[in-house]
């Protein structure tokens, strides 16, 4: 959300999308589905993007749209006997070069993934932690927070929590300049302790390399540097082209990183030194 807020006045940003195979535990790019969850209109840029992505890799392409921000008027949807507000949706599928509306029901999309019995989750979030979350979120407008809520409700609630699926990934944000699409991998990180820099999961790097080469896009790694993992105060924004990241980490040893979207026990990560990043002014 901070990335969008900071750069939306400098360039037109399209909402990114999720990459999620239907086969249980499949690798990220093993016949995945690509889908965008957004309140944006389908314009020429989205159509051009979907035409590009339809050429390879993805089994199907979907565009899930909502436009009602009156949350009090939303219907409730049940996930494991818990009620969650869900706006009315329009489910589009990319067919014959066009995004065609196929349904207004979320299960027309989620039924592509096989059901599983969700693990029982029983924990309590301390009020102090909740207060910290509220403080972090109050800088954003309601529209931005609602967008994120709907995204995560569909991705985590209707899919991640209750469906078998492969290893997830995503494209955080997309822009277009001089006829080429730019894909962005966006992270918030503090500097690594050894050879100070910023890392990417090696499996994510492999996925990014394939997406970049298949679709001939520019791919950038953008980092919001924070002072430490507890206070998370902004220090600076940095970026590096993925090709440069790969070049400068060829001889680096992997380290163990965070789980991210993969939820796998082992998460090898490559760290690129700060000196190779460019600061965003």
Backbone angles phi, psi at 181, to 5 degrees: -85, 140
pLDDT value of position 264:
52
Domain carrying residue 146: 2-160
Q: Are residues 74 and 144 in the same domain?
A: yes
- Ordered strands of the 169-177 beta sheet: 98-103, 90-95, 60-65, 32-38, 13-21, 169-177, 180-189, 218-226, 234-241, 278-280
pLDDT value of position 3:
92
pLDDT value of position 27:
96
Show the 3-state SS of 259-275: CCCCCCCCCEEEEEEHH
pLDDT value of position 156:
93
87 within a domain of the structure (yes/no)? yes
CATH code assigned at 271: 3.40.1350
Contacts with 40 (C-beta within 8 Å, 6 or more apart), sequence order:
14, 15, 46, 65
170 within a domain of the structure (yes/no)? no
Which H or E run contains 53? helix 44-53
Q: Are residues 12 and 151 in the same domain?
A: yes
The domain boundary, picked from 104, 134, 160, lies at: 160
pLDDT value of position 85:
96
Q: Are residues 144 and 29 in the same domain?
A: yes
Q: Are residues 156 and 195 in the same domain?
A: no
Question: For the whole model, what pTM was predicted?
Answer: 0.92
Q: Are residues 154 and 69 in the same domain?
A: yes
**3-class secondary structure, 99:** strand
96 within a domain of the structure (yes/no)? yes
The domain boundary, picked from 130, 160, 190, lies at: 160
pLDDT truncated to tens, each residue of the chain (281 aa)? 899 988 887 888 999 999 999 999 999 999 999 999 999 999 999 999 999 999 999 999 999 999 999 999 999 998 878 899 999 999 999 999 999 999 999 999 999 999 998 877 777 899 999 999 999 899 899 999 999 999 999 999 999 888 999 999 999 999 998 889 999 999 999 999 878 999 999 999 999 999 999 999 999 999 999 999 888 899 999 999 999 999 999 988 888 766 554 455 567 999 999 999 999 98
pLDDT value of position 123:
79
pLDDT value of position 265:
57
Q: How many contiguous H segments (helices) and E segments (strands) does the chain have?
A: 7, 15
171 within a domain of the structure (yes/no)? no
Q: Are residues 53 and 151 in the same domain?
A: yes
Q: How many domains does the chain have?
A: 2
Contacts with 188 (C-beta within 8 Å, 6 or more apart), sequence order:
2, 223, 224, 226, 232
Q: Are residues 137 and 218 in the same domain?
A: no
């Amino acid at each position: 959300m901070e990335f969008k807020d900071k750069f939306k006045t400098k360039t037109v940003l399209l909402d990114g999308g999720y990459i999620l195979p239907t086969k249980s535990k499949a690798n990220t790019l093993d016949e995945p589905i690509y889908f965008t969850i957004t309140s944006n209109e389908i314009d020429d840029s989205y159509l051009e993007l979907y035409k590009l992505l339809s050429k390879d890799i993805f089994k199907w392409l979907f565009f899930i749209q909502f436009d009602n921000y009156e949350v009090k008027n939303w219907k409730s949807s049940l996930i494991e006997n818990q009620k969650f507000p869900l706006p009315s949706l329009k489910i589009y599928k990319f067919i014959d070069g066009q995004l065609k509306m196929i349904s207004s029901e979320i299960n027309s999309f989620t039924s592509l993934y096989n059901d599983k019995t969700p693990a029982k989750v029983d924990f309590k979030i301390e009020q102090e932690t909740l207060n910290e979350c509220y403080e972090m979120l109050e800088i954003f407008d309601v529209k931005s927070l609602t967008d994120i809520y709907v995204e995560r409700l569909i991705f985590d609630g209707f899919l991640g929590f209750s469906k078998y699926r492969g290893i997830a990934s995503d494209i955080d944000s997309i822009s277009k300049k001089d006829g080429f699409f730019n894909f962005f991998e966006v992270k918030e990180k503090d500097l690594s302790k050894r050879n100070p820099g910023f890392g990417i999961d090696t499996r994510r790097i492999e996925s990014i390399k394939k997406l970049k080469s298949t679709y001939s896009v520019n791919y950038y790694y953008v980092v919001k540097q924070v002072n430490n993992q507890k206070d998370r105060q902004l220090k600076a924004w940095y970026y590096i082209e993925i090709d440069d990241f790969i070049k400068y980490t060829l001889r680096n040893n992997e380290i163990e990183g965070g789980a991210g979207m993969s939820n796998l026990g082992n998460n090898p990560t490559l760290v690129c030194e700060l000196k190779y990043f460019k600061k965003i002014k």
